[in-house]
Amino acid sequence: MSCIVQKFGGTSVADIDCIKMAAKRVVAAYNSGNQMVVVVSAMAGVTNNLIELTEQVNGIFDVREYDVILSSGEQTNAGLMALAIQDLGIQARSWLGWQLPIKTDSKYGRARITEIDISQIKKRIENNEVAVVPGFQGLSKENRITTLGRGGSDLTAVAIAGALSADRCEIYTDVDGIYTCDPRIVSKAKKLEKVTYEEILELASQGARVLQARSVELAKNYGVRVEVKSAFTDTPGTQVVSEDEILEKEVVSGISYSSDEAKITLRRVKDQPGVAARIFGPLADASVNVDMIVQNVSEDGKTTDLTFTVTAKDLNHAKEVLSEKKSKIGFDELVSDSNLSKISIVGVGMRSNTGVAKTMFNTLAKKNINIKVISTSEIKISVLIDTEYTELALRALHSAYGLDQ
């Protein structure tokens, strides 16, 4: 007997028909002899509606009340899912975040899970009941509802799977897996049967938004086997596994992109300790998310140019913050550029292969695509290019790395 956690995202439980279809999937797995825990999101659109209501009342709102309001969407669906499963003749019961409880810290609106009491769930699933848990919600030390931030239902599912030592955690969504590239752009993109935690982390945070990044980290830490699947078909999905489960590692597993990038270069920044803190501290305080950071060695030993990227919508805010602090930071000039795309090739096999970067640069050069910034990690190479070349670059790279099949 296996223990399986199935998580259904907003589009998979968007209305009563979807909920019934999801319930059938749960019951099929149950009838195959598995212990079942179901994690549900709110119906697609419900959370956004609740946010809108909240903003209509009060622009700068109290996140404690925001959490009370937002968590109601998942609560409703947990009850409906339990009823839908019962309707198929199987005992089911909902367990809200405060009820288990799923304990979190007190960072309302983006709380982190600190501990899950799975005793109720364990008792019930051992007693042949299906346990239904609303995603996205927990309980703070102050005995108040917290929410876990966007995509938090993935986190709930993985955390429960980890706490239960479940055999796997199936994430049902409106795509049927992780692809080598966005199939809407690269028609030859193919679905990956397996992908490592590290790879999906890079792929997910770079535009292939299928699985929330924090939930992947958690899955990796607890060794939870995650599978991303379509809620609407019966095709196999993509398994997220640890590296040692993939024998023949692809040099490049996938290519991701994000097209709302902007870059800021500070010219002739003083090349001395503490300067980076003086730049990125105020940006963090202003909630500007900085992504790639590139600093070249100093030519004269005194000053250097420092380049980094932010999302296009944060660009003006970032410029304001830095201009205000210009004298304190100490730089000559701020140059910015928007309408940029970041293209990343990702693969755990990259570590043991030379020439991966060369292939990327050659491929882009052949298409006359200018690389503005390069940044690399152990399993990823990212470049910044003009947005208008995005599709061209993705298709050329997909082909160059042998991903077309």
Q: Which residues bind its own copies (CB under 8 A)?
A: 16, 19-20, 50, 53-54, 56-58, 61-62, 64-69, 71-73, 75-76, 78-80, 82-84, 86-87, 93-94, 96, 98-99, 143-145
Burial class (CB in 10 A: 0-12, 13-18, 19+), 235: exposed
Structure tokens at 320: 């304001």
Q: How far is CA 328 from the centre of its chain?
A: 35
Which residue, 77 or 256, has its beta carbon nearer to its own copies?
Answer: 77
Instruction: Round to whole Å and give the CA distance between 113 and 20.
Output: 29
Minimum gap (Å) between residue 250 Cβ and its own copies = 44
Which residue, 18 or 394, has its beta carbon nearer to its own copies?
Answer: 18
Which residue, 72 or 259, has its beta carbon nearer to its own copies?
Answer: 72
> Angle at CA 395, nearest 5°, toward 378 and 256?
40
Residue 143 amino acid letter? N
DSSP 368-382: TPPP-EEEEETTEEE
Minimum gap (Å) between residue 278 Cβ and its own copies = 36
Minimum gap (Å) between residue 16 Cβ and its own copies = 4
Which residue, 130 or 310, has its beta carbon nearer to its own copies?
Answer: 130
Q: Which residues of 343-355 are buried (b: 16+ CB within 10 A; e: fewer)?
A: bbbbbbbbeeeee
Which residue, 4 or 80, has its beta carbon nearer to its own copies?
Answer: 80
User: Which residues are CB-neighbours of 104 under 8 A, at least 6 positions away?
Assistant: 111, 112, 113, 114, 138, 139, 140, 146, 148
Minimum gap (Å) between residue 216 Cβ and its own copies = 30
Minimum gap (Å) between residue 42 Cβ and its own copies = 10
Which residue, 121 or 158, has its beta carbon nearer to its own copies?
Answer: 121
- As beta bridge partners, residue 113 has 104
Minimum gap (Å) between residue 70 Cβ and its own copies = 8
